[in-house]
Amino acid sequence: MIFIDSARNSVISSTRRSLSKVQSIHFLLFTSSFTLFYISVFHFNAAFNSGSNFFSRTPQTDANFSAFLHSTAIHNLSTSKLRNDHLFITTPIYYEDPKSFHRPTIAVVAAADKAFSPRSLLCTAYRNGHKRVTLGSIQKITFTPYCKWATYLVLCPVQSKIETFGISTTHSEEPLTLNFIRADSLRRSVVVCMSRMFLYENWQILLTTLEIYRYYGVDLLVAYIDSIVAGAYELLQVYAKEGLVMIEPSVKIYHNEDMAFNPNDESEWGNQMIVYNHCLYRFRESAEFVVFADWDDVLVPRGSDGGMVDSLRTLFDANSRAGAFQLHRMSTTVFAAADPKHFDLTTTLTTMHVSEFFGPGKVVAIPSRIKGAWVHKPSVYEYGYQLAYARTHQSWFYHLRILSTYKEKPPKDAKIRPNELNSSEIVKSFNEFYKSKNIDQIFTKLPTSQTYLIEMEKCYKEIAHIFNLNSHGHCPNQAFCPVPQLPIDCINVSHEFAERRMANTMLVSYRTKSEFLFSRTGCLP
């Protein structure tokens, strides 16, 4: 059976050729070291409790690089005194009969300058023509010292069975009416909140991850899309029809020409924290466990024969105060065919080489026990809960990377190695699914080479260089990365916004529409 594996952040293949295995290993070590460095300088979790897939456009020459640093320094100075009263809000989430709130509540994941001063916010809800106004609260739930913008949570107590909802800043002001969605109510054991898909072309890792999670009984993977090659998008749609995947547009923050800078450039990992936290609050009461991961992170269930959920129950039962567990992430290299018609899932799963090197861990949480999510650990916990660390024998993540691609047959050094996966049953399950869903028709549309990965490799190196020279004031995300225009079929997400200047001068902006648009000229940042 045909099937490919190629990691999202695996910047190991150029457009026309694969990098050597030595180069691949060097880059694997480099990216892991940089991520460890990045995490080591944050240490923001204590501050919260007391109160990966990214691009960054950097210059290609030393002269331009110096100019970039100089211009950024000027930018930081010129914006330091600017107003920070812009609040961007995502789609409000309505809890009509909540377990984690004392009364019906609207939760709104928002974003604003990290120096944003929470204002008085009035929440207005109507039921059967009856108006009720309550005082809302605003809390910062994630931030990084390197980015100007942070993630916030707005909570509005409301009544049950509401029909409309709005916010205002004074009693005399007409409320800004906002559409809302209901918090997910379908009981689910395990939901995986995935990182956003940006210039995504690694359909091989996508399929590998989907099939492993499908086999081990994960209920839902939430896919937030910025841009993705068309064939990979069609694959996601197949799994979405089966109920395993929920496809959502990713988040873009509203900006206009009058603003001193684009807030999207100053939001960590391209609004990734907004995405994670919106996913957290959408499934906060329906999911028993929520996993926060990248598409190349595969959680391996251990400690139970009952699959993923029983493994996680065993883990949390051993620590009643754990709001979340950070699990080791083991660097894992695989072999994969470059052409989908020559890919064999058995080869991919059985030739995995699991390194002794542990990369920065990823998190699984009981969602009702945490208030805020970050890349590698929660940022805020409910009272009485904390982060716990899983031991290797309990559970871990495989962090998948392609060591080498091959044309028709695996190379001789693609040796069969034992691992924790039930490879034969996973392959059997996939083969049946492949035939029943006519996935072979989609395979003909998948790319046979990676085109954006070489640019990602440059970005990793240049971002690390920036952090080494002058880390403060340089927000890590894709905003400064040159993206080549290529004749590739892609799905890009387009957003429309609205804004309103409130009575207290605060600017509130929000998304009114998102569309998935087909393009023959490549993926957009």
More confident residue, 33 or 316: 316
Residue 150's DSSP bridge partners are: 112
CA–CA dist 96, 77 (Å, integer)? 46
Whole-number average pLDDT of the chain: 83
Note the pLDDT of residue 302. 77
Which of 2-6, 174-178, 401-405 has the highest mean predicted lDDT (pLDDT)? 174-178
Residue 222's nearest CA partner among 210, 211, 207, 234 is: 210
Helix (H) or strand (E) run with residue 78 in it: helix 62-79
Residue appearing with tokens 């470059």: 338
Neighbours of 489 (CB within 10 A): 16
pLDDT at 22 over 80: no
Task: Among 78-87, 304-313, 343-352, name the one with the lowest average pLDDT.
Answer: 78-87
Task: Among 72-76, 218-222, 274-278, 353-357, name the one with the lowest average pLDDT.
Answer: 72-76
Sign of the CA dihedral with 389 first, then 325, 267, and 61 last? positive
Note the pLDDT of residue 492. 98
pLDDT at 90 over 90: yes
Helices 203-215 & 423-436, crossing angle to 10 degrees?
A: 110
Note the pLDDT of residue 304. 58
pLDDT band at 475 (very low <50, low <70, confident <90, very high): confident
Residues 6+ apart with CB under 8 A from 40: none
Which letter does DSSP use for residue 118 in this model? Answer: P
Query: For the chain, which domains are there?
Result: 21-59+184-456 (no CATH), 86-182 (2.60.40)
Task: Among 217-226, 328-337, 435-444, name the one with the lowest average pLDDT.
Answer: 328-337
Q: What are phi and psi of 325, to 5 degrees?
A: -115, 135
pLDDT band at 3 (very low <50, low <70, confident <90, very high): very low
Residue appearing with tokens 């490919």: 4
Please check whether residue 472 is in contact with residue 460, taking contact to mean a CB–CB distance below 8 angstroms: no
pTM for this entry: 0.85
What does the pLDDT average to over 164-188?
97
Q: What are phi and psi of 282, to 5 degrees?
A: -70, -35
Angle value at C-alpha 271, between 165 and 375, nearest 5 degrees: 110
Note the pLDDT of residue 70. 39
Residue 94's DSSP bridge partners are: 106, 182
Note the pLDDT of residue 502. 95
Please check whether residue 323 is in contact with residue 382, taking contact to mean a CB–CB distance below 8 angstroms: yes
pLDDT digits (tens, 9 = 90+) for 385-412: 999 999 877 788 999 976 666 666 666 6
More confident residue, 9 or 369: 369
pLDDT at 220 over 50: yes
Angle value at C-alpha 81, between 80 and 87, nearest 5 degrees: 85
Residues 6+ apart with CB under 8 A from 45: 374, 377, 378, 379, 387
Q: What are phi and psi of 2, to 5 degrees?
A: -100, 135
pLDDT digits (tens, 9 = 90+) for 341-389: 888 898 889 888 888 777 789 999 999 999 999 999 999 999 999 999 9
Distance between start and end Cα atoms, the chain: 34
Strands (E), 366-394: 370-373, 378-381, 386-389
Which letter does DSSP use for residue 491 in this model? Answer: E
What does the pLDDT average to over 164-186?
97
Note the pLDDT of residue 354. 85
CA–CA dist 298, 7 (Å, integer)? 11
Note the pLDDT of residue 303. 61
Alpha helices (H) along 92-138: none
Q: What are phi and psi of 25, to 5 degrees?
A: -65, -40
What does the pLDDT average to over 470-477?
72
pLDDT band at 13 (very low <50, low <70, confident <90, very high): very low
Which letter does DSSP use for residue 377 in this model? Answer: S
Q: What is the dihedral of CA 462, 463, 466, 467, to 10 degrees?
A: -140
CA–CA dist 457, 437 (Å, integer)? 35
Task: Among 141-150, 197-206, 292-301, 395-404, name the one with the lowest average pLDDT.
Answer: 395-404
Note the pLDDT of residue 404. 67
CA–CA dist 44, 362 (Å, integer)? 16
Q: What percent of the chain has pLDDT over 90?
A: 58
413 CB-contact burial (10 Å; exposed 0-12 / middle 13-18 / buried 19+):
exposed
Determine how β-strand 287-293 pairs with β-strand 378-381.
unpaired
Task: Among 29-38, 437-446, 468-477, 506-515, name the one with the lowest average pLDDT.
Answer: 29-38
Neighbours of 473 (CB within 10 A): 17
Angle value at C-alpha 155, between 287 and 112, nearest 5 degrees: 105
